[in-house]
Structure 1
Amino acid sequence: MTQPIAKTTVQRALHAHAAIGLIASALLYLVCLTGTVVVLYQEWQRIEQPDAPEMLTIAPDAVQKAAAAVLASEKGKPGTTHLYVHMPVPGLPRTTITTDSQAVHANADGTIAGPEENAWSEFLLAAHYALNIPGLVGMTIVGILGVMIVALSLSGVIAHPRIFRDAFRLRARDNQGVGLADWHNRLSVWSLPFALAIALTGAMIGLGSVGAYGLATVFYKGDVEAAYAPIFGDEPPPDAAPAPLADIAGPLAWIAAEHPAVRPTYVIVHDPQTRGQHVQIIAEHPQRLIYGETYNFAADGRFEGSTGLSDGHLGQQLAASTYNLHFGNYGGLPVKLAYIVFGLALTVVVATGTSIWLGKRERRGLREPRLRSLWDAVLWGVPLALALTFLVRLFAGNGAPLAALFWTLAALIPLAAAIRPLPRPKPYLKAALGAALIACLLTVLLR
């Protein structure tokens, strides 16, 4: 005869179940919050390094000169496999050259101005993109979270048949969670198209790499680049024999003459200073959602064709549109502001959803102050940790270990709340967050 499970064992299992749900909600909240903040990725870079040289345009010859100077500074080091030139654009009017070992800003005349220092912006992007976890693991987790948001959005609509009819109904606040539930439902309706678009594109980006590795394993003998080639184009075979730096100025001049309506955003030199090197120019197309078309050039500057992201098959155009649609990199400042508003709404929906769930448990007699305090620590501790890492970056410089600091704070704050759940930490964390935000603002203004 089967022995009944002890009541204490059942309670422990329920606590573990609730804790796992809280962890999933915390990750959803973190991804939504960092995604909202990272909409201003270009602006954060300018705030971090306000003295970097800025320009509306840069001459092709100056780009060639700057690339050559960067490579010359790396003599004696292992050869870089890719050289990237970020061209000045309205949101970030700076010329930045990145290799395998360094990133520097260039002046308008092609001279090197100094190193790029945007550690907090890069940390923030990595936190949203992959939870600061290297490799495929982090991106896969974030992709799964995107799928969860889609499932939660659709199931929420189905579970509340009156949700659209009551789209503008807000009942008074009370102690039973009715007002909170109304805000949760109203914001869910108002942000539903945005939430679905962001979640679907996030899932595509996060799980796309996993899919590419799967396709490469099954159909391309493990060659991931071959799996991506039908969408983003393939590369010619490498030739490591030394050679002068490829012509960069010629392709930029060709783009300006042949396609004056497009705007180059990146120049990529593959295997620079080798006989197998070639140049790609990524250029934005006006009134298009794609991040750009890729124009391919031989080392001598000869045009070899475009990849087809602007006029190729539908799958290519869809893949090239995913990034801008997810991050709001189109339409300028009005679109960014809209993404911030709807991103905050989505963040509030995630936060209130878990708060409503905890409230329902309490009304059923499952009073768990530790879980409540843990959720308070997540809601107010995560933005507090972001603000503190930003302050550390401003005072300690570009080399501060921001990812380690953030995740340490993100772990210690909930741990402290769990050890001492009463009184609830919410008012103290809110006060600390307000003080940290004011300190950030004053520091930026004083700089």
Structure 2
Amino acid sequence: MLSARALRTWSWLHKWTSLVCTVFMLLLCLTGLPLIFHHEIGHLLGTEAEPADMAADAPRASLDAVMQTALARHPGKGGMFVSQEEDDDRVWYVTLSDTPTSNDNLKQVAVDARSAQTLAEPQLDRGFMYVMRSLHIDLFSGLPGMLFLGFMALLLLIALVSGAVLYAPFMRKLRFAEVRRERSTRIKWLDLHNLLGIVTLVWFFVVGATGMINTWADLLVKAWQFGEMAEMVAPYKNAPPLTQLGSLEAAVQAARRQEPDMKIAFIAFPGTSFSSPHHYGVFMRGTEALTSRLLKPVLVDAQTAQVTDSRKLPWYLTALLVSQPLHFGDYGGKPMQIIWAALDIITLFVLGSGLYLWLAKRKTARQDATQPSGESAQLAELRS
């Protein structure tokens, strides 16, 4: 049983943490909804690569040929990343840049993995999904925007915990899920807000917690670069810079021999944040539902195609990799996407109703302040 002072403290926490983060949580729920179905929306808008049907055992093109196709589309640029979708190995997505560390003016070419023919050139810096993704991840503000949204997610978690604490004393005189329809509009909204809030509590907490972890992605990657990655490339610390890259296909084949039970997730070119100036970083993934989200880097000498190191990622990057698909409902296929979308819509109502209740309470307080004391007491009695 909470004391009156404890109730006031929890109520204050719930009120102000909710108010500060609500507008941003509304934005994140609205932008997150299309991101749950980003593949489906991409196909609908015609922005996804559509490879031709071929026999399952059709021969695969060399990755060197794939790179030649991509580089021919954008002369003067160099390789940055090569990746495949988890559930479709028919397409290689080649990201090109002016320098290995460029953040702007990136180009991507989707190349058929069987014929090495260009399929599409996805736009990385424009379009509906680009706007939704940028608003959801960093508010178009890079790392400061990510960290700010991480702080909003922390306030959300405090609001959820405080709301759960307050729910028990609030429901002491009511049946579970009861909505007092005979009372005022504000009371009905309050009951609906509390009901839907407690129903979505666990989901919203999971999404909020994984979202907060995702905002630390850049910092966690940097910690890995200065820690484990620095150890892996230490023998090349004083090596002269590369003048020419060796075969990408040979490097990938070496990584596959190193990890024969894993598949390619993505390849980082020398000099990028996921490799060294002297290595291809070939990131392998598992083949099961959970292990497919977990990556293992294999560093391959970019000239000799020899594997120089391979080790599991540290726990904090593993936590990040597990949280990313959980945040968007990517673990259970279409049924989980639909459940995530339904819960997202319900959460929009919870957030909107909370904002409405605060505004309605302020309006009522102003009206009471303008009434004569006797009438104000009568109104308070009727509203209690």
Instruction: Say whether the fold is shared (TM-score over 0.5).
Output: yes
- Equivalent residue for 1:293? 295
Distance 1:120 1:71, change over 3 A: same
1:105–1:114 contact (8 Å) kept in structure 2: yes
- Equivalent residue for 2:10? none
CA distance in 2, matches of 1:347, 1:278: 44
Deviation at 1:263, TM superposition (A): 3.8
2:265–2:285 contact (8 Å) kept in structure 1: yes
- Equivalent residue for 2:333? 332
- Equivalent residue for 1:241? 242
- Equivalent residue for 1:54? 51
Deviation at 1:53, TM superposition (A): 2.7
**Structure with greater Cα Rg:** 2
Let me know the Cα RMSD of the aligned residues: 3.8
Deviation at 1:22, TM superposition (A): 6.5
Query: Of 169, 191, 194, which aligns to 1:182?
Result: 191
Deviation at 1:60, TM superposition (A): 5.0
- Equivalent residue for 2:266? 266
String of CA shifts for 1:70-93, please: whole Å, max 9, x gaps. Answer: 234544x3x53x522221433796
- Equivalent residue for 2:118? 112
Deviation at 1:44, TM superposition (A): 2.4
Instruction: Kindly indicate whether structure 1 or structure 2 has the higher relative contact order, using CA contacts under 8 Å at least 6 residues apart.
Output: 2
Deviation at 1:287, TM superposition (A): 3.1
Distance 1:281 1:315, change over 3 A: closer
2:82–2:268 contact (8 Å) kept in structure 1: yes
2:153–2:211 contact (8 Å) kept in structure 1: yes
Deviation at 1:329, TM superposition (A): 2.5
1:246–1:278 contact (8 Å) kept in structure 2: no
String of CA shifts for 1:307-344, please: whole Å, max 9, x gaps. Answer: 313xxx54443233122222222222222222212222
- Equivalent residue for 1:161? 168
Q: Is residue 2:152 matched to residue 1:152?
A: no
Q: Is residue 2:83 matched to residue 1:65?
A: no
CA distance in 1, matches of 2:339, 2:90: 22
Normalised TM-score (structure 2): 0.72
2:18–2:155 contact (8 Å) kept in structure 1: no
Gaps of 5+ in 1: 1-17, 217-223, 368-447
Distance 1:320 1:304, change over 3 A: farther
- Equivalent residue for 2:12? none
- Equivalent residue for 1:350? 351
1:163–1:189 contact (8 Å) kept in structure 2: no
CA distance in 1, matches of 2:343, 2:292: 22
Distance 1:93 1:158, change over 3 A: farther
Letter in 1 for 2:268: I
1:44-443, aligned counterparts within 5 Å?
Answer: 44-49=41-46, 52-54=49-51, 61-75=61-75, 77=76, 80=78, 83-90=80-87, 94-100=91-97, 101-107=106-112, 108-117=114-123, 119-133=127-141, 135-162=142-169, 166-172=175-181, 175-207=184-216, 209=218, 225-226=225-226, 229=229, 237=237, 239-248=240-249, 251-252=252-253, 255=256, 259-260=260-261, 262-271=262-271, 276-288=278-290, 291-296=293-298, 297-299=300-302, 300-309=304-313, 314-365=315-366
Letter in 2 for 1:340: A
Tell me the SS of whatever aligns to 1:53: coil
Aligned length, in residue pairs: 331
Distance 1:194 1:289, change over 3 A: farther
CA distance in 2, matches of 1:27, 1:283: 34
Distance 1:66 1:212, change over 3 A: closer
CA distance in 1, matches of 2:149, 2:171: 29
Tell me the SS of whatever aligns to 2:213: helix
Deviation at 1:187, TM superposition (A): 1.6
CA distance in 2, matches of 1:323, 1:233: 26
CA distance in 2, matches of 1:289, 1:362: 53
Tell me the SS of whatever aligns to 1:364: helix
Deviation at 1:103, TM superposition (A): 0.8
2:47–2:122 contact (8 Å) kept in structure 1: no
Distance 1:333 1:68, change over 3 A: same
2:51–2:119 contact (8 Å) kept in structure 1: no
2:210–2:327 contact (8 Å) kept in structure 1: yes
1:177–1:359 contact (8 Å) kept in structure 2: yes
Gaps of 5+ in 2: 1-14, 98-105, 369-384
CA distance in 2, matches of 1:148, 1:360: 22
Letter in 2 for 1:116: P
1:212–1:227 contact (8 Å) kept in structure 2: no
CA distance in 2, matches of 1:233, 1:345: 47
2:70–2:111 contact (8 Å) kept in structure 1: no
- Equivalent residue for 2:8? none
1:41–1:121 contact (8 Å) kept in structure 2: yes
String of CA shifts for 1:154-201, please: whole Å, max 9, x gaps. Answer: 011112215788553333275432222222112211211111111112
Letter in 1 for 2:83: H
Normalised TM-score (structure 1): 0.63
Tell me the SS of whatever aligns to 1:136: helix
